[in-house]
Amino acid sequence: MELIGLVLTAKDEPGVLHRLSGIIAAHRGNITSVEMLEGPGEGSRRIYFEVELEQPPDALVGDLKSDPAVTSVSAEMSLQRIYGKRIIIMGGGAQVGQVAIGAISEADRHNIRGEHISVDTIPLVGEQPLADAVRAVARLPRARALVLAGSLMGGEIEKAVREVRQQGLLVVSLNMAGSVPDAADLVVSDPVQAGVMTVMAIADTAKFNVERLTRRIF
């Protein structure tokens, strides 16, 4: 199975997505991701699919182009292959920046060896905004790990952390005040080290495994 990206421009009207997914299914394509993007003009929309296919995409692309609502189709390299696994860092701006230094430096080392790891950051303050953002990470495509970088987090944020961990997301926390460190998979005092260890935890080219640690606070 080969994973490819399909970018379509189509009319923004009911039933289009249903028809397009039916065409993909007819070619035995397995849709692993779909995203609605801004269209080039009013009444149109771009749609991005990531599809696993057993055969070259030429026939599928031809059938998609034949749909009357579709104006263009192109087969592209998938975002999974280009950007790979994602690490999301959120919290106070200064701490977020320090975690990003460690994560980006370590990701560069692994990406040179064939990995594809990208790092996203968002400085946020406030219990509810952070809790909402934590829960949203579980809905982000390719997100593998979340780093919470701040001085005080608890309450609703802790509940959100426990929820996303149950969905398979790795959560790393700085050693801060509040109850979030009690809920995280890994707690690291130094923000740069937290970024480094998070990358190592999700990289296939690293031998570091959080589940094999005898302690989880560093």
CB distance 178 to 158 below 8 Å: yes
Same domain, 11 and 47: yes
Please indicate, yes or no, whether residues 198 and 147 belong to a single structural domain of this protein: yes
Return the structure tokens found at 25: 């299914």
Q: Phi and psi (nearest 5°) for 36? A: -95, 125
37 domain residue, yes or no: yes
Q: pLDDT value at position 177?
A: 92
Residue 66 lies in a domain: yes
67 in a structural domain: yes
SS3 per-residue string spanning the chain: CEEEEEEEEEECCCCHHHHHHHHHHHCCCEEEEEEEECCCCCCEEEEEEEEEECCCCHHHHHHHHCCCCEEEEEEEECHHHHCCEEEEEEECHHHHHHHHHHHHHHHHHHHHCCCCEEEEEEECCCHHHHHHHHHHHCCCCCEEEEEEECCECCCHHHHHHHHHHHCCCEEEEECCECCHHHHCCEEECCHHHHHHHHHHHHCCCCCCCHHHCCCCEC
> Looking at the domain assignment, is residue 36 inside a domain?
yes
Query: 157 and 70, same structural domain?
Result: no
CA distance 161 to 164: 5
Q: What is the mean pLDDT of the chain?
A: 91
Statement to judge: residues 52 and 133 lie in one domain: no
The answer to whether residue 39 scores a pLDDT higher than 90 is no
In a domain, 170, yes or no: yes
146 in the same domain as 63: no
CATH of the domain at 45: 3.30.70.260
User: What are the CA-CA distances from residue 26 to residues 13, 32, 148, 180 (Å)?
Assistant: 22, 15, 43, 47
Confirm whether 217 is domain-assigned: no
131-177 per-position pLDDT tens digit: 999 999 999 888 999 999 989 999 999 999 999 999 999 999 999 99
Domain count along the chain: 2
Q: Say if residue 111 is in the same domain as residue 208.
A: yes
State the Cα–Cα distance between residues 172 and 89, nearest whole angstrom.
Answer: 9
Which of 15, 49, 78 delimits the end of a domain? 78
Domain assignment present for residue 218? The answer is no
Angle between helical axes of 58-65 and 16-26 (0-180°, round to 10):
150
- Measured in whole angstroms, the distance separating CA 21 from the mean position of its chain's CA atoms is 22
Same-domain check for residues 147 and 208: yes
Rg (CA), the chain: 20
Q: Quote the percentage of the chain above a pLDDT of 90.
A: 73
Q: Are residues 100 and 201 in the same domain?
A: yes
> Of 63, 78, 93, which residue sits at a domain end?
78
**Alpha carbon distance 168, 151 (integer Å):** 25
The reply to whether 49 and 157 lie within a common domain is no
Domain assignment of residue 48, given as a range? 2-78
Same-domain check for residues 71 and 105: no
- 202, part of any domain: yes
Between 84 and 98, the more confident residue is: 98
- Are residues 179 and 88 part of one domain? yes
CATH assignment at residue 206: 3.40.50.10550
Query: Encoding tokens for residue 200?
Result: 């190592």
Q: Does 192 have pLDDT greater than 80?
A: yes
Residue 88 shares a structural domain with residue 67: no
- Among 58, 78, 98, the domain-final residue is 78
Q: Is the pLDDT of residue 26 over 80?
A: yes
Over the stretch 72-87, which tens digit does the pLDDT of each residue have? 999 999 888 888 899 9
